[in-house]
Amino acid sequence: MKSHTRVVVIGGGVVGCSVLYHLTKLGWSDVMLIERSELTSGSTWHAAGGFHTMNGDTNMAALQGYTIRLYKELEAITGLSCGLHHVGGITLADNPARFEQLKAERAKHRYMGLDTEILSPAEIAERTDGMVNLDGILGGLYDPLDGHLDPSGTTHAYAKAARMAGAEIVLHNRVLETRPTREGWEVVTEKGTVTCEHLVNAAGLWAREVGAMAGVYLPLLPMAHQYLVTEDIPEIMELLKQGREFPHVMDPGGESYLRQEGRGLCIGFYEKPCEPWALDGTPWTFGHELLNENYDKIADSVAFAWKRFPVLERSGVKRVIHGPFTFAPDGNPLIGPVPGLKNYWSACGVMAGFSQGGGMGLALAQWMILGEVERDPRGFDVARFGPWISPGYTVPKVIENYQMRFNVSYPNEERPAARPCRTTPMYDVFDKMGAVWGQQYGLEVVNYFALPGEARVETPTFRRSNAWEATAREVKGLRSGVGINELQNFGKYLVTGDGARAWLDRIMAGRIPKPGRISLTPMLAPSGKIIGDFTVSCLTEARFQLTASYGAQAWHMRWFEAHAAEGVRVENISDNRSGFTIAGPKARALLARVTRADVSAEAFKFMDVKALTIGMANCLVQRVSYTADLGYEIFCDQMAVRPLWDRLMAAGADLGITPFGMRAMMSLRLDKWFGSWGREFSPDYTPGETGLDRFIDWNKPADWIGKGHCLAERAEGPKRRLVPMVIEADAADVVAWEPVWLEGEVIGWCSSGGYSHWTGLSVAQGFIPADKVQDGLALEVEILGQRRPARIHLAPIWDDGGRMRG
């Protein structure tokens, strides 16, 4: 075993071997994998081996497609068989909501290059040779890429391909300790110590324990998962004689998945009475063992499955596989650089290893070698959980995710486990006012305030929900008077030091303002992709406040730390500083009542920032608003929030002050076509594509990150552009990812949308080819399987900016 290597990957499951292979594929050959036992020990060896592309996150779906297509490449490189069976897969829909979900997924696939199709019950019967009881089935989604493989053969193919490119694999060598060094890490093992620049935790069932060696908590929990393999089934044997195989069948209503296994069938369950395993840590001695059979917890699921698939009732059970595999709280992988640790990388929580392992290995290798990922990684980025995460949060959320894995996923759904987790001083006040809560980055955030007598729960739906009237009331209250909303759910950072301005000029692409002014600016990766959209407030030449998405705190702080400079301090003050935004035509009148300062239009201009005393609180006030109306953002110390609220509410009583939530905020911003982080602005897009290039300071001398790519795009012009659209919708508005049609072809997709309660229009924003952009152009947007007429509407649908700037 070498004593020094560029990268050490800990863990020899499918994910660790994929990371090792992709590092060599992208050019790093001095890499080593260390495994405590044999390859595939842990959860890989007993996996069911199925693979599929369907995923609500389009980037995850694309990476799953990459994973599946990679297997033939591995076979060609190594000469080893992955045991591929591309039999296709059918997901059944047994209720209208699930059928709508499948139609929405099919719509996404239109522009992703995935050849899926919606099937009728008769078509399902034909493709399953009548072996599925279709009582209550409305239809299904068919994906020809779905199939299954040999878990051991596939893992060894990854490993052999990596070895062929120079990687070293050391087996039967448990890692005992990891120590940070100035250059990287020391990895202490049973066979000696290895020094490396980069350390990858791909330890699977033991990822928590390996993470703890470095002082990091990774939010993971193994769940005991059970599947059955039947004896030979005559109907399956007949298919084999004909040279055919039975397709995968996902039956969400029965919490099961089914596939062919030899001359029989394999069926697994995501049962409600599930079983978390090894809550306090995975034993180091565990490896190739299975857990004891537990028929009791799957009894109801088995009974349902025997009705759905009658052939099962006539066949015996040959063996039961009951073993653990790991989940993160939201079911997605934990991939990427761990915040706060230099060159420490996470590659764990990949519960669907044979659907996602290849894509996750590629993404991590790109991150390590190129500095960024080809696709937006936020859905699987380990930084999506902040330092507030704990086992007390992880355990109930993992259990909830396992139990609801086959539930319909609604765009407005708020799942209840481990809530409330984090709250502001306003929580009890808002709760008594009828708040219906959402959550962001663990924080409880008001979605809307229920009307008197209404339920305090929003109905999960793909269509307009019971929040409709309450949201409309909040929008009307703001547009006709003054609205108030808590500012906690902004990420806030204090940048100080003599080099602060120069550092910001390099980190941000836009203009850094003068004292007393604010500016809007994108923050870019070297590729020119957007990794943040910020408000920069210049308090003094050596003191700036930055605001951005609350949910991106760990992501942004990790970037700031990676580009740290001497003489500059960046402090995350997101939870130390809070306050309120007030907006609407009477916002200035309200502000004038609560401060002695001159806040007239002449004294307090649009995009000004001032230090004001409001009531008893020392506040930082910015004249800007995401509501597209006259507005102010009032920041104060967290301890002053309640008195500030009381003062503003008392002063605004006769002005009709109306508290509003995020449902109203998202409606209001559409009136001006303001983009949203994670929708219009994300690492999938560039400033030129989204219109954020208007905030770039092209003339500043600083060599800001991403400058070269942005200059090239400016010279050539972007190939696609973000456009606003007005849609003739019918009780269901755009959410995101709906395809945009022109003359019978899909030319783009929607990034977000909704209903503008003030104008009475259903609207959306989306990306189409730049050469197609034309004001008034007639298009169609596919919503829940129906193409709805739409047209491009380049001008704002309300106000020309006079209210906001006046």
Q: 281-325 pLDDT, tens per residue?
A: 999 999 778 888 898 999 999 999 999 999 998 889 999 999 999
Q: Would you say how long the chain is, in residues?
A: 806
Q: Which residue has the tokens 């599946």?
A: 68
Question: What is the per-residue pLDDT for 781?
Answer: 97
pLDDT band (50, 70, 90) for residue 45 = low
C-beta separation of 197 from 6 below 8 A: yes
3-state secondary structure 267-300: EEECCCCCEECCCCCCCCCCCCCCCCCCCHHHHH
Question: What is the per-residue pLDDT for 58?
Answer: 85
Q: Take residue 206 and report the two structure tokens written for it.
A: 């033991």
Report how many helices (DSSP H) and strands (DSSP E) the chain contains, helices first: 21, 38
Question: What is the per-residue pLDDT for 42?
Answer: 74
DSSP class per residue in 116-132: -EEE-HHHHHHHTTT-S
Which burial class, exposed, middle or buried, applies to 554 when counting CB atoms under 10 A from its CB (0-12, 13-18, 19+)?
Answer: buried
DSSP class per residue in 155-217: HHHHHHHHHHTT-EEE-S--EEEEEE-SSSEEEEETTEEEEEEEEEE--GGGHHHHHHHTT--
Q: Is the peptide bond before 420 cis (omega within 30 degrees of 0)?
A: yes
How many Å separate Cα 472 from the centre of its chain? 28
Pairing mode, if any, of strands 192-201 and 617-622? unpaired
Q: How many angstroms separate the CA atoms of 671 and 697, rounded?
A: 26
Please, what is the angle between helix 14-25 and helix 151-164, to 10°? 30
Q: Mean pLDDT throughout 459-478?
A: 97
Q: How many angstroms separate the CA atoms of 245 and 237, rounded?
A: 9
3 state SS of 658: strand
Q: How many angstroms separate the CA atoms of 702 and 542, rounded?
A: 18
Asked if the model's pLDDT at residue 667 lies above 90, the reply is yes
Q: How many angstroms separate the CA atoms of 232 and 311, rounded?
A: 11
Which burial class, exposed, middle or buried, applies to 649 when counting CB atoms under 10 A from its CB (0-12, 13-18, 19+)?
Answer: middle
C-beta separation of 507 from 522 below 8 A: no
Give the tens place of pLDDT for each residue, 565-610.
999 999 999 999 999 999 999 999 999 999 999 999 999 999 999 9
Give the tens place of pLDDT for each residue, 625-649.
999 999 999 999 999 999 999 999 9
Q: Take residue 154 and report the two structure tokens written for it.
A: 């596939």
Q: Mean pLDDT throughout 336-357?
A: 94
Question: What is the per-residue pLDDT for 53?
Answer: 81
Q: Mean pLDDT throughout 649-678?
A: 97
Please report, rounded to a whole number, the percentage of residues in the chain having pLDDT higher than 90: 91
Q: Mean pLDDT throughout 453-460?
A: 94
560's CB contacts (< 8 A; 6+ apart) are 493, 507, 570
Q: Kindly indicate whether the domain formed by 4-327 is annotated with CATH number 1.20.1250.20.
A: no
Asked if the model's pLDDT at residue 52 lies above 90, the reply is no
Beta strands in 457-508 (DSSP E): 483-486, 490-496
Computed over every residue of the chain, the mean pLDDT equals 95
Domain residue spans of the chain = 4-327, 491-574+686-716, 719-806
3 state SS of 479: helix
- CB pairs under 8 A, 24+ apart, for 190-197? 191/1, 192/1, 192/3, 193/3, 194/1, 194/2, 194/3, 194/4, 194/5, 194/8, 194/32, 194/34, 195/3, 195/4, 195/5, 196/4, 196/5, 196/6, 196/7, 196/8, 196/32, 197/6, 197/7, 197/343
Q: How many angstroms separate the CA atoms of 507 and 705, rounded?
A: 6
The terminus-to-terminus CA distance of the chain in angstroms comes to 71
CATH architecture of 491-574+686-716: 2-Layer Sandwich (3.30)
Give the tens place of pLDDT for each residue, 80-132.
999 999 899 999 999 999 999 999 999 888 888 788 999 999 999 999 999 99
Q: Mean pLDDT throughout 782-805?
A: 94
Q: How many angstroms separate the CA atoms of 405 and 163, rounded?
A: 36
Secondary structure element (H or E) that encloses residue 480, with its range: helix 468-480
801's CB contacts (< 8 A; 6+ apart) are none
Listed residue (90, 55, 85) closest to 308, CA to CA: 90
Please report, rounded to a whole number, the percentage of residues in the chain having pLDDT higher than 70: 100
Q: How many angstroms separate the CA atoms of 52 and 105, rounded?
A: 13
Q: How many angstroms separate the CA atoms of 732 and 474, rounded?
A: 20
743's CB contacts (< 8 A; 6+ apart) are none
3 state SS of 106: helix
Residue 746's CB is within 10 A of a number of other CB atoms, namely 15
DSSP state at residue 512: P
C-beta separation of 210 from 71 below 8 A: no
Asked if the model's pLDDT at residue 328 lies above 80, the reply is yes
Give the tens place of pLDDT for each residue, 370-407.
999 999 999 999 999 999 999 999 999 999 999 999 99
Torsion of CA 352, 358, 362, 368, to 10 degrees: 60
Please give the CATH topology (third level) of the domain spanning 719-806.
Elongation Factor Tu (Ef-tu); domain 3 (2.40.30)
3 state SS of 387: coil
Q: How many angstroms separate the CA atoms of 64 and 66, rounded?
A: 5
For the entire predicted model, the pTM comes to: 0.95
Which burial class, exposed, middle or buried, applies to 242 when counting CB atoms under 10 A from its CB (0-12, 13-18, 19+)?
Answer: exposed
C-beta separation of 204 from 222 below 8 A: no
